[in-house]
């Protein structure tokens, strides 16, 4: 059974003091939630203080990016070992990194392999633009991102990878895909691409999250889908009550499925 993940990508928001306040507000409600893995992904200056606050809880910590090189003259970057010192997860290939910072499927691939080498769990983002969606190219684009981004990944540890399907046209726009539409992409495009790479058993073991304007009000629509295993949450993760509600919605779906 795939354990759902609800990960909050805070993006470039929250000072260290604000991050502490947000985490302190959420910990009492999330520290002992069973059946759902909660992950906070704050900006890099907050990783150390948030890591200290999460000690003794089951809440995971993730970085929003990292470099693939072990060390060197890469001003402003984080090496894999620096991330692994505090984090268990790392977001890779987010559309904003691709759009604004020139990331490619090839650089994402290097980062995925570096993350695996340091026992980090990569949350690999894939998704199509509005033009690509409307021109019927979703399958082509997402399949390419997966095949290139996960090329030469060790099959023995591939089941630990997390995929986040984030249609770019739904990120920060308030325009979410429908649950059935998102599930169709996961079931008909993402899992077959993963099966081609790693085999059927591993493809079914890999967790696939949905991201793109997920809120407490629409989360159940996505979590109820058989091939969607949680969410990568953006703006709603910056509001303690909203993010907690999303986690609780995921937990309710787990309990419903076990009934």
For residue 151, give the CATH number of its domain.
Answer: 3.20.20.70
How far is residue 55 from each of residues 31, 61, 243, measured CA to CA in Å?
Answer: 10, 10, 20
The residue range of the domain holding 212 is 5-257
Q: Considering its fold, how many domains does the chain have in total?
A: 1
Q: Give per-residue pLDDT as tens, 72-113.
A: 999 999 999 999 999 999 999 999 999 999 999 999 999 999
Based on the number of CB atoms within 10 Å of its own CB, is 152 exposed (0-12), middle (13-18) or buried (19 or more)? Answer: exposed
Catalytic residue among 96, 132, 166, 221: 166
Q: Does the pTM of the predicted model rise above 0.85?
A: yes
Q: Give per-residue pLDDT as tens, 198-218.
A: 999 999 999 999 998 899 999
Q: Is 195 a catalytic residue?
A: no
Q: Is 96 a catalytic residue?
A: no
Catalytic residue among 67, 94, 96, 221: 94
């Amino acid at each position: 059974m795939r354990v759902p993940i609800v990960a909050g990508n805070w993006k470039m928001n929250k000072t260290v003091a604000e991050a502490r306040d947000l985490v302190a507000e959420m910990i009492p409600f999330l520290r002992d939630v069973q059946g759902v893995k909660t992950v906070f992904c704050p900006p890099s200056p907050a990783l150390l203080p948030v890591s200290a606050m999460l000690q003794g809880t089951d809440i995971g910590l993730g970085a929003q990016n990292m470099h693939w090189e072990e060390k060197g003259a890469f001003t402003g970057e984080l090496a894999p070992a620096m991330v692994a010192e505090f984090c268990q997860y790392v977001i890779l290939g987010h559309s904003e990194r691709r759009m604004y910072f020139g990331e490619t499927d090839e650089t994402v691939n290097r980062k995925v392999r570096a993350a695996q080498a340091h026992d980090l769990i990569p949350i690999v983002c894939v998704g199509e633009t509005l033009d690509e969606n409307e021109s019927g190219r979703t399958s082509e684009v997402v399949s390419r991102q997966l095949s290139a981004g996960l090329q030469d990944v060790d099959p023995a540890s591939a089941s630990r990878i997390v995929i986040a399907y984030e249609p770019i046209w739904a990120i920060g726009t308030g325009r979410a895909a429908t649950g059935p539409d998102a599930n169709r992409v996961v079931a008909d495009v993402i899992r077959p691409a993963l099966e081609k790479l790693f085999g059927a058993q591993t493809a079914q073991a890999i967790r696939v999250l949905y991201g793109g304007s997920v809120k407490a009000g629409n989360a159940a629509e996505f979590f109820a889908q058989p091939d969607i295993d949680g969410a990568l949450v953006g703006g709603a993760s910056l509001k303690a009550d909203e993010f907690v509600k999303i986690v609780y919605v995921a937990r309710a779906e787990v309990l419903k499925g076990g009934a």
